[in-house]
Structure 1
Amino acid sequence: MPRTHAAATAVALSALALAGCSSTATDDDAAASGEVQLVREGVLTMCTNPPYEPFEYEQDGEVVGLDVDVVREVADDLGVELEVVVTPFEGIQSGADLNAGNCDVVASGITITEEREENMDFSAPYFDADQGLLVAAGSGLDSVEALEGLQVGVQQATTGLDWAAEQGLSTVEFEDLGLQVQALRNGSVDAVVNDIAVLGPFADDELEIGTTFTTGEQYGLGVETGNTALLEAVDATLERIREDGTYDAIYETHIGTAPSEG
């Protein structure tokens, strides 16, 4: 937040004090009427944590990806602009960013879990996901058993970390996917576990997908607990884009294939 002169701050505080009662009443009236209330008027703010290609990543100085395109459809249906805010994944998955008013919706390849449902309200699922294994090409690492005694890179606060811990693997935590892959390339870890959909783009002459671990996970968009009006709007958009073919087009653009039926 930019700094302001003391005089300007005093004027602003005085204005807030005078307008406080009427402003609160207006917000309460909007909530009671079921109107969607946003952190900033005319803007739907989305918190996300790139790099997490193809869901959110930087391209030509702009954050793009499947999640961004889906949430932009929500913004379009609301008749507002979309603003993308980059924040650490911990604040996203814990609900802290939503509770602090940093954004209206969180979208960052977030798997719906019971623990996270205690921190935010989730939309209907919009993407099916499993865990995957990224390894050095020719390493032969293709199973949980093959990882015994090795160092496995995982992303902090993710279901990949939880899954690896449940398997009894020796893990090294990283703040984001990019740092995980960098550690694999420089030999700091022997393998990387993360969602299979985001590991594919890193497969090349040096790295390959070792295997996929079927976990049955699903992604959801998150809003602050109790923000029923926005949640209903998000779910309405998800239903609309599935019915009119928009979701299929977004999926094919970023994943390269049509979504599976069912």
Structure 2
Amino acid sequence: MAFFRGLLRNFGGIAVVLVLLLAVTFLPPDTSLSEVRAAATLKACVPPAYPPLVTGDPERPGIDIELLREVAGRIGVSLVLSENRAMGRDFNPRNWGLNRAQCQVIAGGVVNSVQTRSFLETGPPYADTGWAIISPVPLTSLAGLDVGALVLVSGLDRIGLSRFLRAEGATARVLTTSDALVLAISAGTLDAGVTEAMLATKLAEENGWTVQWTPPELGRYQLVFGLWKGDMTLKGAIDRAFAELSADGTIAAILDRYGAAPID
């Protein structure tokens, strides 16, 4: 009897697998790439400005915009941008109001993290990021300082950052725009600021400030483009385009053009 019970259990497991395989055959086909090619456009949702990734300057539009133009060219289509102001005001992707009709790609500060991958596919990484501190002078400690926190990028560990600032003895003040952060530091109402590393590098360069990583335990991440779940044919085309752009030095040249050097 034990033999037959084991046989039935095994047969039941096999049956479940067969049913799942059969169900897959009834899933709708992935037409994401063919739709892009049929429309001859790749639509991307981006914030109005998130330098150096998105600048709003037609002459120097930003790292993400230049990369997307190159990717679209390799696929054989044109790039169309759709600005979404919620991406610049709110760090919660669920509040951005994005949908497939607006864009196939989401750019301008998408971080490859567990949180991001829970609701988006991700393209190949092209730069490292994480939390970084900017200040007019080099800092050895944040104890007793007033620190502005600009946390608009989705995917970075905001809870870990909050714990870090408390443990350091800093008084944190949440800000919503890079202009407000720069103004407060310049006026002396804030001693320092902490934000995503790519933006931190840009702000430090523009204002003659110093920039440094937060401790490694807060994590290092990679910047990517986001795609909708299930759009695997489009993801495959973007992956292939990135491989070509990496091999011929295009990605490195774009990063260099915007001074996106690693933080020491």
Q: CA deviation at 1:29?
A: 11
In structure 2, what is the Cα distance between the partners aligned to 1:183 and 1:218? 29
Q: Which runs of 5+ in 1 are unaligned?
A: 1-27
| Corresponding residue to 1:231 among 228, 232, 235 | 235
Question: Compared with structure 1, are the counterparts of its residues 34 and 84 closer, same or farther at alpha carbon in structure 2 (3 Å cutoff)?
Answer: closer
Given that 1:153 and 1:189 are in contact with CA atoms closer than 8 Å, whether structure 2 keeps it comes out as: no
Q: In structure 2, how many angstroms separate the alpha carbons of the residues matched to 1:182 and 1:70?
A: 31
Match of 1:46 in 2: 44
Asked if the contact 1:154/1:161 (under 8 Å) is kept, the reply is: no
Structure 1 CA distance, aligned partners of 2:52 and 2:144?
Answer: 30
* TM-score, structure 2 as length reference: 0.71
The reply to whether residue 69 of structure 1 matches residue 66 of structure 2 is: yes
Instruction: Name the CA distance, whole Å, in 1 between partners of 2:60 and 2:148.
Output: 28
| Structure 2: runs of 5+ lacking an equivalent | 1-25
Greater Cα offset, 90-99 or 216-225:
90-99
Matches within 5 A, 1:141-160: 142-143=139-140, 145-148=141-144, 150-156=146-152, 158=154, 159=156
**Structure 1 pair 40/120, CA: closer, same or farther in 2 (3 Å)?**
farther
Q: CA deviation at 1:206?
A: 5.9
Separation of aligned partners in 2, 1:206 and 1:247: 26
What's the counterpart of residue 18 of structure 2?
none
DSSP-derived class of the 2:39 partner? coil
1:249 aligns with 2:253: yes
2:191 aligned partner: 190
Tell me: CA distance 1:147–1:112, structure 2 relative to 1, closer, same or farther (3 Å). farther
Q: Is the 8 A contact 2:151 2:196 kept in 1?
A: no
Native 8 Å contact 2:150 2:181 kept in 1: yes
Q: Is the 8 A contact 1:92 1:106 kept in 2?
A: no
C-alpha distance in structure 1 between counterparts of 2:91 and 2:114, whole Å: 17
Shift of 1:242: 0.6
Aligned mates of 1:51, 1:33 — CA distance in 2: 31
Q: Give aligned-pair identity as a percent.
A: 19
Give per-residue Cα distances to partners, 1:129-160, cap 9 Å, x unaligned.
2321112x24x5x25x4245624222235426
Cα distance in 2, alignment partners of residues 33 and 82 from structure 1: 18
Q: What is the number of equivalent residue pairs in this alignment?
A: 227
Q: Name the CA distance, whole Å, in 2 between partners of 1:30 and 1:53.
A: 39
1:218 partner SS: strand
Instruction: Work out which of the residue numbers 77, 83, 86 in structure 2 matches 1:86.
Output: 83
Q: Distance in 2 between matches of 1:76 and 1:30?
A: 28
Deviations 1:89-118 (A, max 9, x none): 248844855435321101112211111111
Aligned to 1:57: 55
Which deviates further from its counterpart, 31-40 or 213-222?
31-40
Q: Greater CA deviation, 34-43 or 246-255? A: 34-43
Partner letter of residue 217 of structure 1?
Y
Secondary structure at the aligned position of 1:222 is classed as strand
**How many angstroms does 1:239 deviate by?**
1.0
TM-aligned CA distance change 1:95 to 1:255, over 3 Å: farther
2:188, 2:38 → 1: CA distance? 45
- Provide the rounded CA distance (Å) in 1 between the counterparts of 2:245 and 2:206: 37
State the alpha-carbon separation in 1 of the partners of residues 148 and 31 from structure 2.
Answer: 50
Change (3 A) 1:178 1:80: farther
TM-score by length of 1: 0.72
TM-superposed deviation, 1:72 = 1.0
Q: Secondary structure at the match of 1:108?
A: strand
| Equivalent position of 2:130 in the other structure | 130
**Alpha carbons of structure 1 residues 117 and 57: separation in structure 2 relative to 1, 3 Å:** same
Deviation at 1:32, TM superposition (A): 4.8
Question: SS of 2:244's equivalent?
Answer: helix
Distance 1:157 1:173, change over 3 A: farther
* Structure 1 residue corresponding to 2:225, chosen from 221, 226, 243: 221
CA-to-partner distance for each residue in 1:173-213, whole Å, 9 max, x for gaps? 33333333233334443321112332233336965125222
Matched, 1:164 2:161: yes
